[in-house]
Amino acid sequence: MTTKTPREGKKRVRVIIDSNAFFVPLRFRIDIFEELRRLLNAKPQLILLSAAQKELEKLREKGSPKMRREADFALRLAEKCTLYSTEEMSERSADDVIVEIAGRWKSPVFTNDRELRKRLRDINVPVIYVKQKSHLATEGMIQPV
């Protein structure tokens, strides 16, 4: 007879995912969900802000044929995330919304956007990014919630 240990003490990390992170599996052949678990040594709670979702939907509708296919794939991956509504900030860019929410929550952000990474570092928000086109790495200290 096997007994299962309770999972109550398991660390949980909330991670905000930028829209470009969903293209990582296509461009670098990296399983982002498994890599995030490995990197964080915890099961991440993946957050997709509605502003980032809108970016992906716009690419699916108005991008080149290749971009439309990639955006469609990205949106299917995004279904694994918890959607957080940012409709009250709809007049702002997705990057501005990410910076504000991440700063408020002090949650790490998974992005490959250099300018966004710099803005997040400037407010001491940890960043997860693709390193050497082969794995994910972090900048800053990530704390479980």
pLDDT at 104 over 90: yes
Question: What single-letter amino acid sits at 119?
Answer: R
Show Cβ contacts of residue 125 under 8 Å, excluding neighbours closer than 6 positions.
99, 102, 103, 106, 107, 108, 109, 140
Query: Could you name the CATH architecture of 12-138?
Result: 3-Layer(aba) Sandwich (3.40)
**pLDDT tens-digit readout, 32-68:** 999 999 999 989 999 999 999 999 999 999 999 999 9
Predicted pLDDT at 90: 87
Q: Angle at CA 86, nearest 5°, toward 84 and 92?
A: 145
The predicted structure's pLDDT at residue 145: 65
| Mean pLDDT on 75-102 | 96
The proportion of the chain whose per-residue pLDDT surpasses 70, expressed as a percent, equals 92
Kindly compute the dihedral angle of the four CA atoms of residues 43, 49, 54, 59, in this order, to the nearest 10 degrees. -40
Percent over 90 (pLDDT), the chain:
86
Q: What is the pTM of this model?
A: 0.89
- Domain chopping of the chain, boundaries: 12-138
Mean pLDDT of the chain: 92
Band of pLDDT at residue 4, cut at 50, 70 and 90: very low
pLDDT for 7 beyond 60: no
User: What integer pLDDT is reported at residue 49 of this predicted model?
Assistant: 97
